[in-house]
Structure 1
Amino acid sequence: MKKSLLLAVLGLTFSLAACGQAEEKNNKDIKQSEAQTDEQGSGEAAISNSFFEVFDGKIDHIHGVGYSGNQGKPFYAAHDGLKVYDGGKWYKTKEENNDYMGFNATKDGFYTSGHPGQDSNLPNPLGIQKSTDDGKTLQELAVEGETDFHLMGVGYENQVIFLMNPQKNSIMETGKFYLSEDNAKTWKEVSANGLDDTLLSIAVHPQKADYLAASGQQGIYLSKDKGKTFERISKSGQGTSVFFTNDSLIYGTYDGTSKLTKVSLSDETEEEIALPKMNEDAVMYLAQNPNNDQEMTFVSFNGDIYYTTDGANNWNAIVEAGKIK
């Protein structure tokens, strides 16, 4: 069961339990789509190591998106491995088709949690892992075999990790928020005052460790003190997504209509980012190319994926309800 958008009294009601996480954890018999052998197109960099192959199947159960390894192409973390969109073509990993949760792209690769795929020898759950080779190999950072983190944010350049721990493990207490500034070697509990909400996602500023954000049932929250305190900054609606650029926070909300807002971190001015027409749907995961602010992509709750190369003036639907167009 993929994450669903639940409508109730003209509002969204989000909860992590509704994500079907237990089902995803145990369901390892998902049929893989047949791969093609076409090696043309601009995706050569993604498949040069023979770890990716052209893909034309179904993409669902997405748990994150980002520009991994500063390669200029979006990576989508799914329950059955990584998918990459490049030059109008889709690619998927041939091996390590893991159920990636808490996925965060960084300048040199990605951080993730989740569960191993059928073809993986990794322990279950993954704890916190890092990859610098597009997922071909993963490096254990913390609590491997102990915890699956769904709410985890990592800075794109500073690689500060901020997370909520869902269950007690060897270094963290249940339901507490933690921050690491040394690549998961040490952790400190943060009070997260003001973040008393059912959360959907969290994010870390790419450079400044002070800035953290979260989306929740009651709205969008911003911290400027490494998670000690959070302030709700959205004016209305339920929070659906958060994403930091160097100078702004881009966040999604829903109040009967899906909205995407960009707020300046320097002067707090806001501007609305145009979205395509969406029927009872909202932005779940969003990423902007760190080398080109005109290029963005987002995943919706209904399983659609949109992509723009002109700063959201025009959005191209590249996946509809999990089906590649």
Structure 2
Amino acid sequence: MKKASIIASLLSLTIIVSGCSVSKESTAEKKEIKKGFKVKHLHGVSYAKDEKIYLATHEGMLATDSDGGKWILKGNSDFDFMGFSVMSDGTMMTSGHPGNDSNLPNPLGVMVSMDNGEEWKSKSLLGKVDFHILTSNFNNPKIVYGINQMDSGNYKAGIYKSGDGGKEWKMIDSAGLPQDLHQIYSLISLPDDENALIAGTDMGVFRSTDGGKTWSTADQKRLITAINVLPDTKELISYSVTNNEAGIMISKDQGNTWEGIGNDLRQDAVAYFGMNPKNSNDIVISTFENTVMTSKDRGETWKKIMDKGVIQ
């Protein structure tokens, strides 16, 4: 498969660094970040309802306006954010590790913010689980799926589901996915059916129609490294790699077929998508090499606002 070995090595790098603690230079104070500041690791990117861009990083949360002009270190926590997601109702949700300025136990379990990252509060599983992937259903954000990639005490590696916005969780008795859950790049619950799931793995695309209990191979020749929902149309957007092409693609039929819109990143790939909830023309992506790009025209043209971790 084209690029498979490159992206596999990038994923391995991501796994190796994902458990690091926050550096001593980090601070929980809100302050402006100057151009040239370098982020070590990006673990998520999203727009929020204030139409600003938020980056979940190893150093805490960064926020900027849509053109990448002014940057600030946001909020009251220097977390090492993992599994970062903004739900369709505007709630921010994350997992990960506490920073030097925090007295919380490690891992963080599930944390939520109702004010665009100003303050984070524990929702569940504090000190018990570190979800590296969190995704909620677009039409019903109370339905949340999380992937725990490694055993953690009584919480075994597997896919977990919450029906109340992340307060209570049950592990899904799942069959059909790769045994090593580190091989999963992306997961989404389809907007019109909370029990229909798509998982992008390095063994191809897998699909479930029963809430993750059973999985079947949907496309062995396609690698989906990142996937999200276009808010206005409920269409899917992904970074997709096949033997013949690679780039950002749109699906109008719930992921059965994909149409490319460009932006083949060559030696890199999209790790996370963020969509402006008020305007689907506004897209932000972050890559495995910590590059962040924005588009104002639904992916036709792109502006780089962070290059390999360095603010431009």
Alpha-carbon distance in 1 for matches of 2:213, 2:18: 33
1:15-74 Cα offsets, whole Å, 9 max, x none, are 7982455655344335459xxxxxxxxxxxxxxxx9453543113311111223x22122
1:229 is aligned to 214
**TM-score (normalised: structure 1):** 0.80
> Tell me, what secondary structure is at the counterpart of 2:95?
strand
CA RMSD of aligned residues (A): 3.0
- The within-5 A match list for 1:88-103 is 88=67, 89-93=70-74, 95-103=76-84
1:185 is aligned to 167
**TM-score (normalised: structure 2):** 0.83
Alpha-carbon distance in 2 for matches of 1:142, 1:15: 33
> Tell me, what secondary structure is at the counterpart of 2:188?
strand
CA contact (8 A) 1:250 1:263 kept: yes
1:283-313 Cα offsets, whole Å, 9 max, x none, are 1111221211111111112221111001111
* Counterparts in 2 of 1:141 and 1:60: CA distance versus 1, 3 Å: same
CA contact (8 A) 2:44 2:56 kept: yes
2:93 is aligned to 111
2:12 is aligned to 18
Alpha-carbon distance in 2 for matches of 1:130, 1:27: 20
* Counterparts in 2 of 1:233 and 1:262: CA distance versus 1, 3 Å: farther
> Tell me, what secondary structure is at the counterpart of 2:126?
coil
* Counterparts in 2 of 1:245 and 1:108: CA distance versus 1, 3 Å: same
1:310 to 290, 297, 305: 297
* Counterparts in 2 of 1:16 and 1:302: CA distance versus 1, 3 Å: closer
**Residue 164 of structure 1 pairs with residue 147 of structure 2:** yes
* Counterparts in 2 of 1:216 and 1:80: CA distance versus 1, 3 Å: same
* Counterparts in 2 of 1:279 and 1:141: CA distance versus 1, 3 Å: same
Unaligned runs of 5+ in 2: none
CA contact (8 A) 2:236 2:255 kept: no
CA contact (8 A) 2:58 2:81 kept: yes
- Post-superposition shift, 1:130? 0.8
- Post-superposition shift, 1:157? 5.4
**Residue 84 of structure 1 pairs with residue 63 of structure 2:** yes
1:63 is aligned to 43
Alpha-carbon distance in 2 for matches of 1:205, 1:18: 27
1:299 to 286, 289, 312: 286
> Tell me, what secondary structure is at the counterpart of 1:312?
coil
> Tell me, what secondary structure is at the counterpart of 2:19?
helix
* Counterparts in 2 of 1:189 and 1:265: CA distance versus 1, 3 Å: farther
CA contact (8 A) 2:138 2:229 kept: no
Letter in 2 for 1:76: L
> Tell me, what secondary structure is at the counterpart of 1:25?
coil
- Post-superposition shift, 1:14? 2.7
Alpha-carbon distance in 1 for matches of 2:137, 2:255: 22
Q: Which has the higher contact order (CA 8 A, sep 6+)?
A: 2
Letter in 1 for 2:259: E
Letter in 2 for 1:97: D
255-264 vs 126-135, which moves further: 255-264
> Tell me, what secondary structure is at the counterpart of 1:178?
strand
Letter in 2 for 1:226: G
1:284 is aligned to 271
1:54-108 Cα offsets, whole Å, 9 max, x none, are 543113311111223x221221100111112204332222641210000011223
1:214 is aligned to 199
2:236 to 220, 233, 249: 249
Letter in 1 for 2:196: Y
Alpha-carbon distance in 2 for matches of 1:306, 1:128: 28
Alpha-carbon distance in 1 for matches of 2:250, 2:175: 24
CA contact (8 A) 2:22 2:80 kept: no
* Counterparts in 2 of 1:133 and 1:157: CA distance versus 1, 3 Å: farther
> Tell me, what secondary structure is at the counterpart of 1:11?
helix
CA contact (8 A) 2:77 2:120 kept: no
**Residue 262 of structure 1 pairs with residue 250 of structure 2:** yes
Letter in 2 for 1:28: V
* Counterparts in 2 of 1:323 and 1:186: CA distance versus 1, 3 Å: closer
217-226 vs 311-320, which moves further: 217-226
CA contact (8 A) 2:79 2:97 kept: yes
CA contact (8 A) 1:66 1:75 kept: yes
- Post-superposition shift, 1:142? 1.8
- Post-superposition shift, 1:222? 3.3
* Counterparts in 2 of 1:55 and 1:155: CA distance versus 1, 3 Å: farther
